[in-house]
């Protein structure tokens, strides 16, 4: 079989697709618009494989014949579906579709605009903990948009395992209308390829509007996560916003609502029947009402990572886990020690009482605003209360509205901007609001130095916090948001202690 891998990349999907198919005897052409130098880490891993046929590389360009003559094209999720190269292909798949067609494991799928990775990681942590205590058979695996292709662990799976997949809107869009019968002739007629036992949707916010023609197409791709479910399955979504309520109404699965408010005290049309989750207004703990009507604490009031938005995402995870039969006591214990994940409000260094955080995954203004709220909202965390906040923000624009970020930035003591078209849009808004700023900085080291200098001005006013939370895309100065986060941590680690 002749296969063309469209987009090798550096985050695993193209690499694992090439590995998976080559080891099964496919004749693989790997093509990417990046050059050999940029893709060197992935190419080295492919060349280390022992396969029947050597890989053929077409780099720095695409050739139409590689798509016309292939039996199968593997699409990177970042490639728009309207690509003329894809239009010329006989059959198009992704690493996710190949995985879903072959996986025997129980599936939990997570999507949303922000909070996907933290929610998915927390779900897997709890499920893995059950196995560590010999309370469940099998293993728990985490993959998808979190930069781990599920093809990397497909061969290890059994029917006793759980797989948690983080899925982006692009990955979901690629799965629209895919049926299992396309891959398995014995599958029930009409059964969707994507049919998660639990589909968890975090909050929906404007994102990728440089790729989508408005919010409706973007949200419609998110809806794919539950469209293949039935009443054996559960859809977990927020009752606090119109998108979440629409998911709960439309899903063919059982709707489980989570909210910042107890049932009956939030938006008028919030679902109140069946299991629900909410944040107790008195204690700050996350509560869950089970199917039998009993109520228990599932998320502790004090967490290791700051931010009410994380608590709400953990509440969504808890609701899904409870529906899977995990005891609330185990859920509460495991979530209470959840340390968070890299690049999401990640604490990584302290210099003379100044705490530095990496929130590079905040690629939209609302996410950066949530980071500000996490440190200025007054909630106690496992790291104690925060002091004055220095916000490092800005970067490249994705055709988004920066109003939430400007409003939140007023609560920071100082603002440091990274260079980019997003910062160009921010500057007049900050000026109009009377908010001074440093930069824009064209080097991440300059931003780190400016932030440290600003934080030193507040010595004695509490434990100052410096957080990189850009609210913007990373392209231009960085390869991607993870490269931005790694460079930020390196720059801060190079700052002097004195």
CATH of the domain at 89: 3.40.50.720
Do 322 and 430 belong to one domain?
Answer: no
Report whether pLDDT(270) > 50: no
Q: Which two tokens stand for residue 39?
A: 């893709």
Does residue 365 sit in the same domain as residue 332?
A: no
| Domain hosting residue 422, numbered range | 346-493
Mean pLDDT, all residues of the chain: 91
Asked if 89 contacts 73 with a C-beta cutoff of 8 angstroms, the reply is yes
Q: Which two tokens stand for residue 342?
A: 């890299």
Closest CA to 58 of 1, 4, 17: 4
Confidence of residue 495 (pLDDT cuts 50, 70, 90): very high
The 10s digit of each residue's pLDDT in 95-126 is 999 999 999 999 999 999 888 999 999 999 99
pLDDT one-digit tens code per residue, 240-259: 989 999 999 999 999 999 99
Indicate whether 141 and 59 sit together in one domain. no
* Alpha carbons 263 and 276: distance in angstroms, whole number: 8
Q: Are residues 283 and 396 in the same domain?
A: no
- Is 341 inside any structural domain? no
Do 263 and 393 fall into the same domain? no
Can you state the angle between helices 215-227 and 242-250, rounded to 10 degrees? 40
Domain boundary pick from 53, 75, 93: 93
Residues 200, 320 within the same domain: yes
CB 139 within 8 A of CB 131: yes
Look up the CATH number of the domain holding residue 131.
3.40.1190.10
| Token pair 């058979």 in the structure block, residue | 137
Residue 284 lies in a domain: yes
Same structural domain, 416 and 358: yes
Q: Is residue 391 part of a domain?
A: yes
Answer whether residue 498 is part of any domain: no
Per-residue pLDDT tens over the stretch 367-392: 999 899 989 876 544 555 568 999 99
Model confidence at 296, pLDDT cuts 50, 70, 90, reads very high
417-441 mean pLDDT: 96
- In this structure, the answer to whether residues 79 and 193 fall within a common structural domain is no
pTM, rounded to two decimals = 0.85
Mean per-residue pLDDT, 289-299: 93
What residue spans of 164-253 are helical by DSSP H? 169-175, 215-227, 242-250
H-assigned helices in 144-293: 169-175, 215-227, 242-250
Whether residue 139 is found in the same domain as residue 221? yes
């Amino acid at each position: 079989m002749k296969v063309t891998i469209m987009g090798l990349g550096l985050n695993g999907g193209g690499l694992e697709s090439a590995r998976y198919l080559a080891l099964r005897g496919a004749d693989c052409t790997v093509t990417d618009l990046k050059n050999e130098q940029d893709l060197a880490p992935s190419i080295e891993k492919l060349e280390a494989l022992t396969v029947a046929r050597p890989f053929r590389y077409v780099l720095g360009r695409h050739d139409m014949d590689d798509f016309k003559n292939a039996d199968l094209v593997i699409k990177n999720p970042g490639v728009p579906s309207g690509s003329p190269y894809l239009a010329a292909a006989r059959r198009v798949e992704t690493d996710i579709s190949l995985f879903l067609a072959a996986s025997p494991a129980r599936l939990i799928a997570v999507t949303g605009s922000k909070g996907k990775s933290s929610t998915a990681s927390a779900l897997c942590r709890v499920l893995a903990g059950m196995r560590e205590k010999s309370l469940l058979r099998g293993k728990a695996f985490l993959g998808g948009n979190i930069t781990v292709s599920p093809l990397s662990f497909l061969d290890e799976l059994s029917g006793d395992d759980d797989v948690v997949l983080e899925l982006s809107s692009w990955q979901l869009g690629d799965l629209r209308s895919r049926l299992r019968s396309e891959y398995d002739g014995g599958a029930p007629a009409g059964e969707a390829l994507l049919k998660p036992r639990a589909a968890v949707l975090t909050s929906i916010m404007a994102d990728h509007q440089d790729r989508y023609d408005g919010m409706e197409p973007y949200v419609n791709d998110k809806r794919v996560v539950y469209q293949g479910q039935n009443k054996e399955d559960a859809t977990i979504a927020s009752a606090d916003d119109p998108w979440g309520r629409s998911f709960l109404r439309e899903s063919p699965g059982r709707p489980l609502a989570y909210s910042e408010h107890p049932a009956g005290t939030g938006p008028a049309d919030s679902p109140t029947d069946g299991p629900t989750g909410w944040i107790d207004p008195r204690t700050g703990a996350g509560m869950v009402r089970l199917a039998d009507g009993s109520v228990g604490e599932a998320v502790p009031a004090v967490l290791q990572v700051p931010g009410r938005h994380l608590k709400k995402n953990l509440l969504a995870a808890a609701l899904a886990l409870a529906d899977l039969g995990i005891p609330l006591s185990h859920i509460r214990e495991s979530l209470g020690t959840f340390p968070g994940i890299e690049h999401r409000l990640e604490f990584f260094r302290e210099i003379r009482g100044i705490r530095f955080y990496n929130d590079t995954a905040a690629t939209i203004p609302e996410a950066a605003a949530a980071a500000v709220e996490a440190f200025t909202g007054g909630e106690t965390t496992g790291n104690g209360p925060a002091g004055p906040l220095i916000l490092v923000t800005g970067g490249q624009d994705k055709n988004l509205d920066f109003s939430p970020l400007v409003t939140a930035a007023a609560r920071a003591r100082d603002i440091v901007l990274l260079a980019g078209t997003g910062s160009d849009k921010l500057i007049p808004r900050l000026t109009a609001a009377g908010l001074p700023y440093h930069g824009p900085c064209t080097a991440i080291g300059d931003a780190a130095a400016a932030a440290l200098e600003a934080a030193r001005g507040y010595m004695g006013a509490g434990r100052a916090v410096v957080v990189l939370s850009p609210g913007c895309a990373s392209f231009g100065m960085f390869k991607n948001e993870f490269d931005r986060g790694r460079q930020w941590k390196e720059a801060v680690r190079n700052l002097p202690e004195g």
